[in-house]
Structure 1
C-alpha cells in the first residue's frame, strides 16, 4: 500500500474515532437534566486563562527537572558507593510510598520554611519534580537493567569505558523501552499539579474551583478544566509516540 494511501486511511480512521468519542460525550451531556448557562463562567475567562498558563509553566519547569532527578537517582541506585546507593533507594521508596498531598505540605511548610524559601511558584514545581523524579528513576532503572548482560560484557571486551557503555550501548536501547512509561508519567505530572492548590498556587484546577464557587455552575466550570489539561497532555503523548516510532525505525 502506498504511503499516501496509508496516511489517508489512518487519518480517516482517527477522525472517525474522534467524531464517535466526541459524539458520545456530547450526547451524554445533552441528556443531563441540567440547564446549561455559560455566560456567568465566561466572565471569569481571564482567571481560567491565567490558571492554564500557570499550569503550563509549572509543568514546563517540573518535567525536565524530574527527568534529570530521575536519571541521577537511577544511576545512584547502580553506584558502587554504598551510602549513595542506599540514600537513593530510601528516597525513592519514601517518595513513592507517601501521598503527594502529604509531601506538598511537608516540603512547603517544613523544609521550605526551614530554608527560608517562601515562593509558592518556586517550591511547587520543585515538589512535583522531586515526586515524579522518584517514579522516573525506577522507570529508567528498569530500562537499564533490561539490557542483556552479554551486551555489557561485549562493550567491556572491546574496550569501552563505563561512560561510553552507557552512552552508546545502554541508553539508546533503554530509551526505546521506557518511552511509553515515561509518557504516562509526564501526563501524571501535569495532572498532579492540581494538588498545588493546597498551598494557594493559582493553577488551572484552583481557578476552576473558584469559578464554580462564584457561579455555582459545576459543569461549565470544570469542562474547561478538562479541556485545558487535554491541550497540555495530548501534545506530550503525541510527542512521545513519535519518539517511540522514530526509535523503532532507527532500530
Structure 2
C-alpha cells in the first residue's frame, strides 16, 4: 500500500512539531513577561521560590506551602470528581430511563446548572445553602464543583451509553438479564472506552476550576499563592510557579490516561 504524502496539516500534527510550537509559545510568554517586568523595575527573587516548594530542616525533609496547597487541591478535586461521577451517572440514567418524570428532572437539572456561572453557584452553596445546612467552606466547594461538573459528565455518560449497539441490549434481554444487570455487566464496561477521553478532559477542567474556591478562602493552591504574594510581593515568581504546578499535574493526568486508552484499545 502506497504511503500518503506528508501534507502540511499532517506535518503540523506530528508530535515533534507540536512540542516545538508549544515551547515557542511558552518562551514567548515568558520573555514578554520578563521584558514587561524589567520595564516596571521589578526586582526578581527566584532564589526564594524553592523554599515554598520544599525545605530541609533539622527535622528532615518538609514540603513547602505551595506543595501543601497542591495536596489540598488534589484532594478537593478527587473528592469532587468522584461525587460528580456518581451524580452524573444518576442524571444520565434518569434521562435514558424513558420515564417522563425522570427525564423531566434530568433535563431540568441540566438546563439549570449549565446556565448558572460557576462563581454564582459557589456563592449560592456557601452563602445561601451553607448557613441553612451547616456547610463549611470545604463542603460548599466540593458540592459546587461536583454539581457543576456532574451536568457535563452526565452528557458524557449518556453519549457513551448510546454508543453501544442496540444488539447488545437485545442479547442481554435474550439471556434474561434485567435492565440493571445489562447496564452493570454489558453496557457500562463497553462504554468505558468511549467515555474515558472526555472524562479525562472533564477531570482536568475540574482541577483548573478548583482555583475559583479561593474566593471563599479555601486553603488550596491558588489561595496559598495569593497568601504568599501578600507577604512577599513576589507576584511574577509565585504566579509562574503556581501555573507551572497546575501544568505539570494536568500533563501527568493526560499522559496517564493516554496509556490507559492504549490498554483498552489492545483488549477491546
Q: TM (normalized to structure 1)?
A: 0.83
CA RMSD after TM alignment:
2.6
Aligned counterpart for 2:101 among listed residues 83, 98, 112:
83
Partner residue of 1:38? 46
Pairwise CA distance, 1:172: 2.3
1:154 alignment counterpart: 171
Shift in CA distance, 159/222, structure 1 to aligned 2, threshold 3 Å: same
Which is further off, 27-36 or 91-100?
27-36
2:70 match: 52
Deviation at 1:14, TM superposition (A): 6.9
Q: CA shift at 1:244, angstroms?
A: 1.5
- Equivalent residues in 2 for 1:165-244, closer than 5 Å: 165-244=182-261
Decide which moves more: 34-43 or 166-175: 34-43
Q: Secondary structure at the match of 1:201?
A: coil
TM-score (norm 2): 0.78
Report the counterpart of residue 140 of structure 2 in structure 1. Answer: 123
* Structure 1 runs not aligned, ≥5 long: 1-12
1:103-114 aligned at under 5 Å gives the runs 103-114=121-132
Q: Which of 112, 120, 126 does residue 94 from structure 1 map onto? A: 112
Tell which deviates more after alignment, 204-213 or 38-47. 38-47
How far apart, in 2, do the equivalents of 1:24 and 1:85 lie? 46
